[in-house]
Structure 1
Amino acid sequence: MANVPSHPFSPEALAERHGGSYRWWVLLTVMLGTMASIMASTIVNVAVPDMSHQFALGQERAQWLSAGFMAAMTISMLLTPWLLDRFGYRRTYAGAMVLLMLGGIGGGLGRNIDWVLAMRAAEGLAAGVLQPIPAILILHTFGRHEQGKAMGIFGFGVVLAPAIGPSIGGVLVEGFGWRSIFFVVVPFCVAALALGQRFLPHSSPGSATINESRRRLDWPGLVLLAVAVLCLLNGLVHLHDSAHGTAIALLAIATAGAAGFLVRQRRAEHPMMQLRLFGHHTFSWGGVVAFIYGMALFGSTYLVPVFMQIALALPPSQAGAVLLPAGFVLALTIPVAGRLADRYAFHRTLSAGVLLLAVSFWLMMTVGAATALLTITVWAIVGRIGLGLVLPSLNLGAVRALPMDLLPYGASGINFLRQLGGAVGVSLVGIVLEWRLRVHAGDPIRGFHETFFLLGLICMGAVLAAWRMQPRPQDPADANPPPA
């Protein structure tokens, strides 16, 4: 007689109960949750003007509708390994989905801006916990020959969220007011909760059971991380204005907080970030790629729409229409890239993707007031093809060779570094753009071109780092077999 798994919601019991399609149900479950978190992140941007008018917000206050979400998300990413170890996949996922849903409902019902900002922070905390979970589950649930395909399908669904989110948000704001956009996440959360209760295992990564007393949360490390991230983001914001003394003080505190966090991680019994991850060749270079890639990706997300509306004088609707085909190309590229990640060395597809992203930035330097919209669309598509090649290869390549006990930390660490790079990239692009526009006061297009050139150079740094991710079998740190 076959052995029956001891827990009805262990991975083995669930796979036996649901048959060969079980792994795809797991993929759908985590994809819906991630789509909800991304939707919450991006859809609010279209409502900022209406909210600024209602609450009489200045630009510095209004930007925290996005910056507060990003800060909370960055901080909570490193909590995922501890939550999974103590509560398991099922309860961690359910808790994050409930928090995301309550944040959306609370934001939509908010009567003052402080409450709305608090709800945005709650959504960001939930989104940060959710981000590393899909990569961990895909590596645990799918065989090596299907991991790239699964990551590609996951990416296809996830990139649709930011592609359609602003369009849906614009219609809702125009028809029902800014409050309506906060409720968009609710149906996604309800569906993800229902699927999670049915298909996600009760266990924690690498273990058939969970032990709620196994390890304590590193509270000092969490506080130091929060201080470092919040002071960094605030300091970068103040670099845009005349408060340079405040900016320098905040950045100094951020540096001290980051140094304290690293010292704490080295000494803590149960650290939030396992520094021994960086002893693994592919992860350490993957972290460099993730940080630089985050800078370029988030920086360009800010720069391209501003370029088309300010330098080219396109109306918002037309600028969005120009970028829409590139969004669909990205969604179609990612599944193909996932299959390539199963067949070819990930450092090759990763390098090719970042190189295409750099080329797209440099091609934007040829765009002027007389350039046809079709040309701009083609240049944007080149960049989106590059993004599609990067996502599956980076998520898998950086963590695939890690031993089982480090897998949750690796997935959290890569997402954390990419998000941190994004926060730095947005501020860096804003600072450089403001500087170059001031230098070229009579020729704004030239100021934008020089900023695009900088993004291309940043991407070339990621190309070099991606090529260094080439696995070295002779290195014991990279010789660990992937999970089945």
Structure 2
Amino acid sequence: MATTNKQSSINPTGYVQGYLKWAIAFTASLGAILEVIDTSIVNVALTDIQATLGATVSEVGWVVTGYSIANVVLIPLSAWLGDYFGRKTYFIFSLVGFTIASVLCGLSLNLPMLVISRIVQGLCGGGLLAKAQAILFETFPPAEQGLAQAVFGVGVIAGPAIGPTLGGFLVDGLGWRWIFFVNIPFGILAVAMSFLFLPKDGDKTKAQNQAVDWWGILFLIVAIGSVQTLLEEGEQDDWFSSSFITTLLITSIIGFGLFIWQEMTTAHPAVDLRVLRHRSLAAGSLLSALVGMGLYGALFAIPIFAQSVLHFTATQTGLLLAPGALASAIVMVILGKVSTKVDARFLIAIGAVGTSGVMFQLAAITPQSGTDDLFWPLVWRGAFTVLMFLPLSLATLGGLPKQDISAGSGFYNLTRQLGGSIGIALLTTLLDRRQAFHRAVLLAKLTPYDPETNQRLDALGGFLQSQGMDTTTAQQQALALLSQTVNTQAAVLSYADIFRVVGTAFLCSLPLLLFLGKGNARAKAPVGH
């Protein structure tokens, strides 16, 4: 009877009607939210994990790296896996695997067990993000895509901010294992909703009768795995001074070359690169990578600044990011109602210019900056980012024929994830290099022959002696305090530099809008656009 009701909820155009389409939207979005939050929730717990499991800093980093690599490898394969096993079956399998892997992560007795569990979690999570977005595009008619994608976008945009916030509370209150256990009830709920609401799988015999593109899958794993590892480990190994990083670069180039050749010459590719014939998808995916760099890169820098310079706790850092996440959610819902009626390129341009302005505003930070100084810039960043994310999804994927949406969504989400990884890697390197540069410039001005330097040291020494220190100890402590002041100022200047870089990158991305569609006329879009 339930199957009959679901079938009757599908209109002649193939789109779902009534309450069922919204049940599908919340089901798919819940799976995506779980995946996105887990990309960042672990970051605030690494110190506790390291202490509990007796790992080094480089070793515990693989808790994040393993998840990221597995996640990125699976995203472009999600379209083929959905066709081969059935969209509903594959989505439920991914949810079940993600939930079980979360349990294993929380129960891990040593670091290898935790890393392996995180890799499994990443493999299962990679199937949730792209499939969720594809499910929404295939469920809702063009006129309602804005609201549907808004439901999906709330999690994707707010997730990177919710992760550290939630993680901070759980780590400080219950311990690091609960950042994984918290997935269990939501995972079970998502599985139950998927069984109840997702439409029954269609005929899978065609996909299952086709030869599996094992070579394409292998080349993809080698290429994506190598480039993601390179991005995750490059800064720590001093980039190309390391033979390991150089080998990864060569392997990724060869892997991508073989992968592209294989996918363009085989009859039934694992990843259909031919969807890039749609101009909007090609341009939108490139712009998605830039948005990913700005979204994840800037969001990565702010918590580090708060904790390393302002000395915030994990919970305080999470609370600092929370208003921006709330602003994203509010604007996402409002925009969902009007996005299909307004040219997406106009909204993206406003978002890019606005986000750029916020980045230049953040570049004015000082060592005395606090929560009040960061509150409104972070709120506006959350709001303006939505103006890029939601319309970009509609402009990129909204004009695709229905049969190409799944493959297009996988490629689009892959570029955003890779863009985020590239952005974090580049900004981390730039942060270290600029900090060393600013420290050298500041130290060049602090010499024994500089009267101002001597006056400052004398003032510090005198103050410390008034607190009961002897002359020698006071002088040593004065030098240490001056060095700490220099380090702090150098750090602030370097963060200002990377905020300017992100702001400039958004402005430079504006010409790509000329290649996008309007995002509100999917049914009329020609095949080549």
Is the pair's TM-score, using the shorter chain for normalization, greater than 0.5?
yes
Q: Distance in 2 between matches of 1:234 and 1:86?
A: 28
The equivalent of 2:237 in structure 1 is 241
Q: Distance in 1 between matches of 2:4 and 2:191?
A: 15
SS at match of 2:366: coil
Aligned pair count reads 471
Query: Does structure 1 retain, via aligned residues, the 8 Å contact 2:164–2:318?
Result: no
The equivalent of 2:504 in structure 1 is 457
Q: Distance in 2 between matches of 1:298 and 1:56?
A: 29
Query: Does structure 1 retain, via aligned residues, the 8 Å contact 2:277–2:528?
Result: no
1:9–1:386 Cα change, 3 Å: farther
The equivalent of 1:411 in structure 2 is 409
Q: Aligned ranges for residues 303-342 of structure 1 at < 5 Å?
A: 303-342=301-340
Q: Distance in 1 between matches of 2:235 and 2:176?
A: 30
Unaligned runs of 5+ in 2: 440-485
TM superposition shift of 1:168: 3.4
Query: Does structure 2 retain, via aligned residues, the 8 Å contact 1:83–1:92?
Result: yes
- 1:295 matched to 2:342? The reply is no
Report the RMSD for the aligned CA atoms in angstroms: 2.7
TM superposition shift of 1:180: 2.2
Q: Distance in 2 between matches of 1:255 and 1:10?
A: 50
The equivalent of 1:402 in structure 2 is 400
1:303–1:228 Cα change, 3 Å: same
TM superposition shift of 1:316: 4.2
Q: TM-score, normalised by structure 1?
A: 0.90
Q: 1:227 aligns with which of 202, 222, 225?
A: 222
Q: Distance in 1 between matches of 2:397 and 2:368?
A: 46
The equivalent of 1:252 in structure 2 is 250
TM superposition shift of 1:119: 0.9
Q: Distance in 2 between matches of 1:175 and 1:105?
A: 19
TM superposition shift of 1:310: 2.6
Q: Distance in 2 between matches of 1:403 and 1:326?
A: 35
Amino acid at match of 2:189: A
Query: Does structure 2 retain, via aligned residues, the 8 Å contact 1:40–1:123?
Result: no
Query: Does structure 2 retain, via aligned residues, the 8 Å contact 1:238–1:246?
Result: no
Tell me whether 340-349 or 313-322 shows the greater mean CA deviation.
313-322
Q: Deviations over 1:382-415 (max 9, x none)?
A: 2111111122212221111112221111010100
Q: Distance in 1 between matches of 2:391 and 2:205?
A: 30
1:166–1:444 Cα change, 3 Å: closer
Structure number with larger C-alpha Rg: 2
Tell me whether 371-380 or 19-28 shows the greater mean CA deviation.
371-380
Q: Distance in 1 between matches of 2:228 and 2:92?
A: 29
TM superposition shift of 1:279: 1.7
Query: Does structure 1 retain, via aligned residues, the 8 Å contact 2:9–2:18?
Result: no
TM superposition shift of 1:477: 11
SS at match of 2:397: coil
TM superposition shift of 1:55: 2.0
Q: Distance in 1 between matches of 2:31 and 2:248?
A: 34
The equivalent of 1:108 in structure 2 is 106
TM superposition shift of 1:190: 0.9
TM superposition shift of 1:478: 4.6
Q: 1:466 aligns with which of 488, 513, 520?
A: 513
Q: Distance in 2 between matches of 1:175 and 1:13?
A: 48
Unaligned runs of 5+ in 1: none
TM superposition shift of 1:378: 1.0
Q: TM-score, normalised by structure 2?
A: 0.83
TM superposition shift of 1:51: 0.9
- 1:196 matched to 2:199? The reply is no
Query: Does structure 1 retain, via aligned residues, the 8 Å contact 2:213–2:269?
Result: yes
Q: Distance in 1 between matches of 2:364 and 2:118?
A: 39
Query: Does structure 2 retain, via aligned residues, the 8 Å contact 1:224–1:261?
Result: yes
The equivalent of 1:72 in structure 2 is 70
- 1:145 matched to 2:143? The reply is yes
Query: Does structure 2 retain, via aligned residues, the 8 Å contact 1:39–1:161?
Result: yes
TM superposition shift of 1:209: 6.1
